[in-house]
Amino acid sequence: MRISSTPMLNIRFTILYMRMVADRSKLCGVEASLPRQDISPASAVPISAVTNDTATSASALCGRIHFHRRNKKLIGKATIFFTILFFSATIFCLEGCQPIPDTGIEKDGRRYGVVPSFSGEWWHHYERGLSFADGALWKEAELDLREAVRQREADQKRRARTYGRHFFESSYHEEGYFPHRELGIVLYHQRRIKEAIDELEISLASVKSSRAETYLDRARKILIEQDGFDRRPPEIALTSPEQNFLTNASFVTIRGVAKDDTYVRSITVGGKKVRVDVSNQEISFLMRVPVIPGKNEIPVLAKDLIGKEGKSSVTVNVDRMGPVISVEEPFEEQPVYETGLVELKGYVFDKSGLTEIMINGIKTDCNGQQEIRFGKQVKIGEKQRRLEIRAEDMAGNVTSSDIILSDREAVRSSWVAENGNIAFANILLSQQQSAELNQIVLEKFKDEHKTYVTYLKEILINGTIKVRGSEAMTRLWFNQDEGSFRVKNRSTCDFSYIYPLEIGNIIILAEDASGGEISRREIRIIRKDSDTLRGQRLGAEIMAFKEFPKDLYLGFEDSLDTVMLEGERFRVITEEEDMEADCMIRGKFRKRPGYVEASANLYLYELGKDKKSKIRLAKANAYREYENEIGRDVITELAKEIHWKLAYDVPLIDGTVTETDGTKKVVTDLGKEMQIKKGMEIVVYQDPPKIEDDYEVLGQARINAVKKQTSSAFLKEPKKPIQKGQPVITR
C-alpha cells in the first residue's frame, strides 16, 4: 500500500508548528529580553523622591512593562492562531493520508495513477500526475505535480536526468519534463485561470511547446473576457518601406510592430501569415511580399485574442519599365571623322522620373525630371565607332542605347540590370494611323517562330522601335500593364522592361497602330524550374517518429514526407535513393487521451565527418486535440505545422554578395532578421549568359557569423572567383 507524499508534507508542517509553539517567545523577540522580577505597588518609589536618573530608569521600566504585557497578548493570539492552523493541517493530513491503492483510481472503467515501482521520486510524482490528468482527476493530478515541482523546479527538455544518469522520458508524455506546463493545464481545467497563467508562463520561459502556448492563449482569453480588459483593437506601426515606396523589384520586405492593450494573437501581411506561436502585447514582424507592376496596396492585419482587428496598409509603386531613349533621325550630315564631332538630338523620358543620363561617358543629373531633351555635338575619338546613351530612373531601371557610327541607320539597345536579373514581356504598341507601320527590333528574341525555354524567374525584353509615322505619341503595353512611352516622329526609340515569369507562361508581343493597321510580333516563352538550384537544396532524410500504436506514427511519417515533397524547401531523401543526405529530421509522435503532439529537430551533418557529427539548426513542436479518434486530417495538420516551422527556422531565401575576397570568404545581405543562423549553408551562383541556359553554381559556403542584416561565410572550393553583386540562395 502506498500513501500520497502530501501527508508527509503535513507531518513536516506539524513538527514545525510544535517547535514554534514551544519557542513562542522567540516569535515576537520580546519576552526573553525582559528582566525576571516582579513589580508591585508596595515597592514603588514616590515620584517626588526620585532623582532624574531614577525617573528615567523608572520610565524606561514602565515602558518595558507595558511592552511586555502587550506582546504577551500577541503571543497568546499567535498561540491560538497556530493551534487552529495545526488542527486544520492535521485534519487535512488525515484526509490526505488516505492511501492510494497499487491499482490506482478507477474512473469510467479505466484506472489512473498506476506507476510501477513508485518510491516518491520527482519523476514518479510527475508520471502519476500526468496519469491522473488523463483521467480528468484534477485534484489528484495537482497534488502530484506540485510535489514534482517542489522536488525539481524547472521545466526541461532532455536535460532532466534520473539519478544523474539517464535522460528522463515519461511513458505518458513526450521526452522531457514539464511540471509547470502540466500543472498550469490542470489548474486551467479547475477554472483557476490566474494561477494557470502563472504556471504556463513559467513553463514557456524555460521551454517552448505548442501545448503550453495553446493553453496560455486560452487562459488569457478567458481572463480578458471575465475582467473586460480588452477595450481597443490592435495598433500597427509600419517601419518600412515608407508610403508610396518606388521599386522595380518582384518582392518587397514589410517591417513593423503590432501592439494591443491585451494580447496580439495573429498578423497577416499581404495575405501571408506571420508566424506567431503565442500571443503577446507587442510583436515585431517582417515579411517578404510579392508585388506586381503598378500600384500595390499591401494590407496588414492584426487580431487580438478576443478577435478585435487592427488594420493598416502600405502603398508600393512598382515600375519595371526602363527609361525610353529617343534619338531623332537623320543625323546631321557632317563629316564625323574629319571634325571629330557628331550631332545628337533627342530626349529621354520616364514616368517615374530620371536620376541620371550619361552620353558618351558624360554624366548629367536629372533630379527626378520625367523628360530630358538633348541636342548637342558629341566629341568622339579617332577610332571610336559607337556612342552610348545610358539612362536610369528613380526605380533603378536602366536603359542603354548604342549608336553605331559606321551605320547610322543601325541602332541597338542593351539593358544592364544592377541585380543581374533579366526580364521579358508582352508589348503592345499603338499610335495614330500612318502610311508605314512602325518596326520593332528586339535584341534577343529575333526568331518569331521559336518557343524559348528559360529557367529565369524574371526576364527582360529590350529593343528598339523605329517610328515611321508622323504622329508624336505612342503607347506601350506589357501584357495588361501600360508603360508611359513617348516617341517623336521619325525617331528611333530604345526601351527595356522587366517581367516576372510563371512556369509555363506564354508571352505575346504586338504592335497596335491606333485607328489603322496592326503589326504583330509573337514570342512564346516557357519557364521551367531550375534543376541546378533545386538540386542544391538541403537533402533531408526523415528518421524515426515512434510511438504506440505503430500505424499512427507511420501515418505521420508518411504525411510529413508528402508535405515536404510538395513543398519547395527540402529535397526528401528516401531509402530507395542512393543519395547522401545533408540533414536529418528526427522527432517524436505522441498520442494521449484527447490530444496528440509531434516534435521534430533538424540536424545538419558536419562537413567531412561521419553522420554522428551534426549540429541542430531548427526545432518544431505541434499540438492538436481530438474528440473520439484521430482522423487523417489531424495527422496531416500536425505534419504541415512541423514542416512550416522547420522551413521558417531554416528558410529558403535569396540574397546578394556584398563583400568577398573572391576565394575564401563572402559577406551577404542575409541576416538574423531573415532567420539566418550560424551553421546554415548558402549557394553562390550566376545568371546564365543566354536565355535558354540554366543557372551556374559557383560554390557553396557555410555561415560562420551572423548580424542583424548581414552574415559572413567561408567558401568551399569555388569553381570561379566570387564577385560582389552575385546572387546567393540558402541551401
pLDDT greater at residue 339 or residue 23: 339
Window from 181-195, 497-511, 576-590 with minimum mean pLDDT: 497-511
Among left, alpha and beta (phi > 0; psi -120 to 50; other), residue 515 is left
pLDDT greater at residue 679 or residue 443: 679
Domain spanning 105-227 has what CATH number?
A: 1.25.40.10
Cα separation, 511 vs 509, whole angstroms: 7
pTM: predicted TM-score of the whole model, two decimal places: 0.75
What was the pLDDT predicted at 297? 96
What was the pLDDT predicted at 487? 55
CA 225 to chain CA centroid, nearest Å: 30
What was the pLDDT predicted at 548? 59
CA 54 to chain CA centroid, nearest Å: 81
What was the pLDDT predicted at 168? 52
Give mean pLDDT, residues 638-658. 94
Q: For residue range 75-121, list pLDDT tens digits in order.
A: 455 555 555 555 554 544 444 444 555 668 988 888 999 888 888 88
What was the pLDDT predicted at 76? 57
Q: Is the pLDDT of residue 355 over 90?
A: yes
| Rounded CA Rg of the chain | 39
% of the chain residues with pLDDT over 90: 39
Give mean pLDDT, residues 136-146. 95
pLDDT greater at residue 255 or residue 576: 255
CATH of 532-646, one of 1.20.120, 3.30.70, 3.30.160, 3.40.50: 3.30.160
Cα separation, 481 vs 479, whole angstroms: 6
Bridge partner list, 525: 452
For the chain, what is the mean pLDDT?
Answer: 76
**Which residues have C-beta within 8 Å of that of residue 93, sequence separation ≥ 6?**
7, 10, 11, 14
Q: Is the pLDDT of residue 424 over 50?
A: no
Window from 95-109, 120-134, 138-152, 482-496 with minimum mean pLDDT: 482-496
Q: Is the peptide bond before 718 cis (omega within 30 degrees of 0)?
A: no
Cα separation, 29 vs 300, whole angstroms: 64
Contact criterion met (CB below 8 Å) for 327 and 349: no
What was the pLDDT predicted at 524? 79
Contact criterion met (CB below 8 Å) for 166 and 143: no
**Which residues have C-beta within 8 Å of that of residue 494, sequence separation ≥ 6?**
324, 325, 326, 327, 389, 399, 400, 401, 411, 413, 462, 463, 464
Sequence ranges of the domains in the chain: 6-39+47-96, 105-227, 235-318, 332-528, 532-646, 654-730
Contact criterion met (CB below 8 Å) for 509 and 523: yes
Cα of first residue to Cα of last residue in the chain, in angstroms, is 59
Q: Is the peptide bond before 241 cis (omega within 30 degrees of 0)?
A: yes
Q: Is the pLDDT of residue 312 over 70?
A: yes
- E-assigned strand segments in 443-579: 451-454, 458-466, 475-478, 481-483, 491-500, 508-513, 518-522, 524-527, 539-546, 571-572
Cα separation, 403 vs 382, whole angstroms: 16
Q: Is 675 helix (H, G, I), strand (E, B) or coil?
A: coil
φ and ψ at 285, to 5 degrees?
-140, 160
Q: For residue range 385-423, list pLDDT tens digits in order.
A: 778 889 999 999 998 887 776 544 333 333 222 322 333
Give mean pLDDT, residues 18-30. 42
**Which residues have C-beta within 8 Å of that of residue 289, sequence separation ≥ 6?**
251, 252, 253, 254, 269, 270, 272, 298
Structural domain 235-318, CATH architecture: Sandwich (2.60)
Structural domain 654-730, CATH architecture: Beta Barrel (2.40)
Q: For residue range 285-298, list pLDDT tens digits in order.
A: 999 999 988 899 99
Give mean pLDDT, residues 307-314. 96
DSSP string for residues in 329-350: SSPP---HHHHTEEEEEEEEE-
